[in-house]
Amino acid sequence: KAGVTQTPRYLIKTRGQQVTLSCSPISGHRSVSWYQQTPGQGLQFLFEYFSETQRNKGNFPGRFSGRQFSNSRSEMNVSTLELGDSALYLCASSPRDSYWGEQYFGPGTRLTVT
């Protein structure tokens, strides 16, 4: 099976712009989670989607949003970008709908905000 794919892999944006990142989970996986990783804060949970519904949300401002489509693919959007949003954004899919077992992470999208 193909792994989790994320596009784009690298992105440079200017402060104030918005950005959309895409994630395609492993075939058959219906739960998709997003994480932000920075040197200062480490890996932080953004949100989790299942059946096109956000089921869990981390402690991030409303500028961070996401959605999931009927084919389980997911997108996350960050509006009004700030310098502090520069990070590696990771997507993970899980084969288990209801349990935090093994998660499969994608390679991430590295976002740089200038």
Residues that bind another protein (CB under 8 A): 4, 31, 33, 35, 42-45, 48, 50, 55-56, 58, 88, 90-92, 97-108, 110
Q: Which residues contact 33 (CB under 8 A, 6 or more apart)?
A: 45, 46, 47, 48, 49, 56, 91, 92, 93, 94, 103
Q: Is the Cβ–Cβ distance between 26 and 2 less than 8 Å?
A: yes
**Cβ nearer to another protein, comparing 10 with 14:** 10
Q: Is the Cβ–Cβ distance between 30 and 99 less than 8 Å?
A: no
Q: How far is the CB of 16 from another protein (least distance, A)?
A: 27
**Cβ nearer to another protein, comparing 91 with 111:** 91
Q: How far is the CB of 108 from another protein (least distance, A)?
A: 6
| Strand-strand pairing, 10-13 and 31-38 | unpaired
Q: How far is the CB of 111 from another protein (least distance, A)?
A: 13
